[in-house]
Every structure is written in C-alpha cells, then in structure tokens.
Amino acid sequence: MAAYAVGDVQGCYGALCRLLDKLMFDESQDELWLAGDLVNRGPESAKVIRLAKSLPNIRVVLGNHDLHLLAVSTGFRQVKQTDSLEDVLKAPDSEELLSWVRHLPLLHFDPDRQCLMVHAGLHPNWSVDQGRSFARQVEGLLRDDDTYPVLLQRMYGDLPTRWSNCMDEFDKARWIINAFTRMRFCSADGELDFTQVGPPGTQPMGLHPWFNMRSPAKERIVFGHWSTLGAAMFDHVVSLDSGCAHGVLLTAINLDDQPLRFVQVACNEYLASPHF
C-alpha cells in the first residue's frame, strides 16, 4: 500500500485523473491525501468532490476555497467573479457534497508515518499536538448546526494577526482558520501576514516563510496553498501547490518513497485568475 499526497486540485478533475493514472493508483489499497482546495477556479469541482468522496482510503483537509464554497452555499458570502462553484451549488446532489465538505478536518496526522498534512501550514508556535487540538476546536464549530452559521459569518478577515487568549471563541476560530488555510509569511514572533503572496525572497524584511520559523521536528509537514512557492522540499516540509488552477502542473508525491520525488502532470482545464 502506498500513500500519495496531491496538491491543490481546485476543480481540475481531468488533471487529477491523469495524475492518478500516472501514479498507477490502486483505490482498493492505496491512500490518497488531498491537501485542500478541492474546488474553485477549475471547471469541474463537483466531479473532484464526488471522486474524493467515493474513495475508500481518502484523507482530505479543508482549504480556503473549500471554506469559501461553504460560505457561498449558505449565503454568507457572495460569489466572486473568479469563482467557478456553480456546478457544485446547482448539482442534484449538492446538499450531500456540501455536507461532506463541511465535515472534513483542518489537519490530518499519520502517527505511523510521522507525517502531517494541512492546507497552508502549521503555525511556528504550535506543536503537532497543539495544532491537532486547535483543529478540533474549529471542526466542532463547523459540524454543529448552531455554531456553523455564526462561524461562516465571522470567518473572513485578516484580523487578529496575533493570538490572544482574550479573544472570543469566533475570533480565535478565525485566527486558527487563517493559520491553517491562508498562512504564508509571519514575523519572528509569529504574527501572521496576508499582504505577501510571492515566493520566499520577495517579502519585506521582518517576514519569514512560516516553515523557516519552526523548530526542527521529526514530523514531516505536507501542505499546498502557496502556488508561487511551487513544488518544493525543505527539511521535513513538502510544498505541493504547483499552480494547477493557473494552468501549470498538478503535483503528487509517494509519502513512502525514499528519497521523495515529485510526480506531475500538466493542467490544461483551468480558469485563470489572480491569487486568493
């Protein structure tokens, strides 16, 4: 059995199928890890969700576009010009697809492989156990019918950029969601920055890639989100978003390979748009 981790698919169903064929993925034995942003920008988001939902050994984490889909579907957020969510929202099985997305986790950890998957990153101040605890807090709010609409209403925004125990439950949830699904750069003391979306080296002085601020650890962290960083490997960190939704590549790795190597396919079925 192999475990394959794949970067942001973003509705590019054809590219995902081509990649799985190239990997010779065996759904009866192999695990598929999807690093969030299953939907939006590409043309076939509903097909991507249906495929993921149908696989017996699937591991998926929520990305910012997946959360945006939930907010749009409930009317708490307007559809943007760059969105391509209609095939999910108007699908005959829309309610079932949205419920499945709503119940996805923010973090997946495999203790046997000592490998953790998140969409954007694991905050430098968090241990793996702390990250898992914070993820469960937000997942509980998402899955509770009473707190779900409140969370979606209060989920958006860049503030607060610093953690405070004085924040209320939903400000804390926004901060946690931003760290898990939007983070790229932060300051030396862990303050989040959302103004910079370029690759490392383009940021102003005082900002650092989040993974450069983490202490060395035995766990490997696999993430997506950062398309301008692209497919890249660092010490115990693997970046998998290679810009599929912008017409570039869709990337996978076999987590059991030694050494790790990227497997990629070209992505042609996309809707070009700016970074979110």
Inter-residue contact 11 to 41 (CB < 8 Å): yes
* Domain count across the chain: 1
Return d(Cα 270, Cα 43) in angstroms, integer.
6
Q: Let me know if residue 211 belongs to a domain.
A: yes
Range list of H helices, 61-188: 64-73, 86-89, 94-102, 128-143, 148-154, 169-181
Confidence tier at 270 by pLDDT (50, 70, 90): low
Q: Let me know if residue 137 belongs to a domain.
A: yes
Confidence tier at 275 by pLDDT (50, 70, 90): very low
* C-alpha distances out from residue 106 to 25, 101, 201, 258, Å: 24, 11, 28, 27
User: What's the pLDDT score for residue 13?
Assistant: 96
User: Which is higher by pLDDT, 247 or 39?
Assistant: 39
pLDDT at 256 over 50: yes
Q: Let me know if residue 273 belongs to a domain.
A: no
pLDDT at 274 over 50: no
Q: Is the peptide bond before 200 cis (omega within 30 degrees of 0)?
A: no
pLDDT at 148 over 60: yes
Residues 176-213 pLDDT 10s: 999 999 999 999 999 999 999 999 999 999 999 999 99
Helix-strand-coil split of the chain, %, nearest 5? 30, 15, 55
User: What's the pLDDT score for residue 217?
Assistant: 83
Return d(Cα 165, Cα 192) in angstroms, integer.
16
Q: Let me know if residue 276 belongs to a domain.
A: no
Q: Let me know if residue 135 belongs to a domain.
A: yes
Name residue 188's amino acid. Answer: A
Q: Let me know if residue 23 belongs to a domain.
A: yes
User: What's the pLDDT score for residue 75?
Assistant: 95
Name residue 15's amino acid. Answer: A
Q: Let me know if residue 127 belongs to a domain.
A: yes
pLDDT at 16 over 70: yes
Residue 92 phi, psi (nearest 5): -60, -25
Q: How many CB atoms lie within 10 A of CB 72?
A: 21
pLDDT at 273 over 70: no
For 150, the domain range is 3-266
pLDDT at 112 over 50: yes
CATH number of 63's domain: 3.60.21.10
Q: Let me know if residue 275 belongs to a domain.
A: no
- What is the H or E stretch that residue 20 is in? helix 13-23
Q: Is the peptide bond before 92 cis (omega within 30 degrees of 0)?
A: no
Residues 225-255 pLDDT 10s: 999 999 999 989 999 999 998 889 999 999 9
